[in-house]
Amino acid sequence: MDIAALTTMLTPAMPYLVKGGEKLAEMAAEKLGGAAFDSVKKIWERLRGAIDQSPTAKGAAEDLAEKPEDGDRQAALRVQLHKILSENALLTDQVSELLQQASQETTHYHAEMHGDGAIAQGNHAVAAGKGGVAVGGNVNGGIKLGGGSDKD
Tens of pLDDT along the chain (152 residues) come to: 889 989 988 898 888 888 775 555 566 556 655 567 778 888 999 999 999 999 999 999 999 999 999 999 999 999 999 999 999 999 999 999 998 888 776 555 566 777 777 777 665 677 777 777 777 667 777 767 666 555 54
| Structural domain includes residue 44 | yes
Quote the pTM value: 0.62
| Structural domain includes residue 128 | no
* pLDDT at residue 38, rounded to an integer: 79
Provide the 3-class DSSP secondary structure of residue 118: coil
| Structural domain includes residue 38 | yes
CA distance 64 to 13: 10
Q: What is the pLDDT of residues 95-109, one digit of tens each?
A: 999 988 887 765 555
What is the extent of the structural domain holding 87?
12-105
Q: Are 40 and 64 in contact (CB under 8 A)?
A: no
Count up the domains in the chain and report the number.
Answer: 1
Q: How many residues are there in the chain?
A: 152
* pLDDT at residue 82, rounded to an integer: 97
* pLDDT at residue 34, rounded to an integer: 56
| Structural domain includes residue 94 | yes
| Structural domain includes residue 20 | yes
CA distance 25 to 34: 10
The alpha-helical segments, DSSP class H, found in 11-137 are 14-19, 22-32, 34-53, 55-66, 71-86, 89-105
Provide the 3-class DSSP secondary structure of residue 144: coil
Measure the CA dihedral 65/71/72/75, to 10°: 80
Residue type, 84: I
Q: Are 76 and 63 in contact (CB under 8 A)?
A: yes
| Structural domain includes residue 73 | yes
Torsion over CA: 126, 29, 55, 103 (sign):
negative
| Structural domain includes residue 144 | no
Greatest alpha-carbon pair distance for the chain in Å reads 75
Q: Are 81 and 7 in contact (CB under 8 A)?
A: yes
* pLDDT at residue 22, rounded to an integer: 55
| Structural domain includes residue 143 | no
